[in-house]
Structure 1
């Protein structure tokens, strides 16, 4: 049975958008080359190894067999893990923004003290 590579592309692109991942970040997390990811994101009709699909699935916060299931025509599961990962990413973004603000305040205080 032929694999649905366009469904895989759609799943990857949607998930990357949800997580705010760039292609470079996904490549680093999955250890899959940017060229291979680009082809996957375009839905190129090319066989992908189970290892590659598992690496990308895991990097996107899914079970390792998620993209293999999508390629085989099984629906993308919208399990609790994807919701909790999305929530976790949002919480981390909020924490980083708070840290950035705190560091800027600290730098301003140090600057003021050094001018005295």
Structure 2
């Protein structure tokens, strides 16, 4: 089986989404992750935005997982389509719980603002 065929069985979009979400949760930059994982900024950028989906060395995904505070095999599980469970520490961490709540509230507020903007735009279009 070629790398291209294997890549078809792998969910690089989910890996990119997991990385983006985790970076947002932890407020880490690409440079932070690259430095902690000891990888190039280009590699982090490619993974975060799924710019070059291709087979990567297992050590690469392990390094990114650990840099983001996950177990070494976390992103590999995501890549295979598994739903890895968060660390016990993450589940009980009051700061992460508060951040999740704030994130939900911000999404709700953003949705409300967009709805208001659409209403105002529709009212402005009426003669």
Counterpart pick for 1:72 among 68, 72, 80: 80
Measured in 2, the distance between the counterparts of 1:11 and 1:84 equals 20
Give the drift of 1:48. 1.3
SS in 2 for 1:75: coil
Query: Once the 2 structures are TM-superposed, how far is the Cα of residue 40 of structure 1 from its aligned partner?
Result: 0.3
Call closer, same or farther: CA 1:85–1:15 in 2, change over 3 Å. Answer: farther
Q: Which runs of 5+ in 2 are unaligned?
A: 1-5, 99-127
Task: State the TM-score, normalizing by the size of structure 1.
Answer: 0.68
Aligned length: 89
Whether the 8 Å CA contact 1:19–1:86 is kept in 2: the answer is: no
Tell me the C-alpha RMSD between the 2 structures: 2.1
The residue matched to 2:84 in structure 1 has which SS? coil
- Offset at 1:83? 4.2
1:6-45 aligned at under 5 Å gives the runs 6-43=13-50, 44-45=52-53
Partner of 1:56: 64
| TM-score (norm. length: structure 2) | 0.63
